[in-house]
Amino acid sequence: MCFRLVAFAFLFGVFFVQFGFTQYEMGSPEENVRLISPYGAVARSVIIPGWGQYHAHNYFQSVFSFSGICASLAGVVITHFSFREIYDKEYLPIALKNRKSKAALVAYDRANQKYRVRQFLLYSAASIWAYSIIDSYVAANLYNALTKSQLIIEESKAFEKFGLKFDLDQDYIACNLVKQF
């Protein structure tokens, strides 16, 4: 029962993230411009690191984030097993006899080094994940700004075809509107 509830919640969350955070803006009657919700990108990056960046069309950063976290977590697993092996097989048998002996201290130092490396890799993975979340928000906003600016440029090019002229003189002000067909 618990597994079904968790699976349902996960599928609902993925569905909500996929379809619930999309914004549309009408550029012209025949053209739909799709904008990316920054909050949707953040939600995607919280679920899977790099997914929000990929959704925001920042493909290089998404691959960097996902592969960086995968490499860090793989390092965490490897160093954890190495730490447990050194601690359980080298340090504990010696420490049960005499914790203060030189051999016990050397084995403890080796195990402690592995532990520190594991913690460093774990914190690295967490910081890359946090970077992924922040970058997905920024990338979505930049993509939206770029899309809107391109729309404004296209509209201004259409407006330039009208040929509006202003003449200012001391005696009069003239405004000429020229439309070429």
Residue 13, burial from CB neighbour count under 10 angstroms (0-12, 13-18, 19+) = middle
**pLDDT tops 60 at residue 46:** yes
Lookup result for tokens 């597994």: 3
CA-wise closest residue to 116 among 168, 76, 66 = 76
Q: Which of 17-21, 69-73, 159-163, 172-176 is the most confident on average? A: 69-73
**pLDDT tops 50 at residue 75:** yes
Q: Under DSSP, is residue 132 helix (H, G, I), strand (E, B) or coil?
A: helix
Q: Which amino acid is at 136?
A: S
* C-alpha to C-alpha distances, 72 to 42, 59, 78, 90, 118, nearest whole angstrom: 21, 20, 10, 26, 9
Please give the radius of gyration of the chain, using alpha carbons only, rounded to the nearest integer. Answer: 30
> How high does pLDDT run on average in the chain?
81
Separation CA 48–CA 20 (nearest Å): 17
Q: Which of 45-54, 97-106, 119-128 is the most confident on average? A: 119-128
Q: What is the pLDDT of residue 77?
A: 95
Q: Are strands 173-177 and 31-36 parallel, antiparallel or unpaired?
A: unpaired
Dihedral pair phi/psi, residue 58, rounded to 5°: -110, 70
Dihedral pair phi/psi, residue 70, rounded to 5°: -60, -45
Instruction: Report percent pLDDT > 90 for the chain.
Output: 39
CA-wise closest residue to 40 among 53, 27, 29 = 53
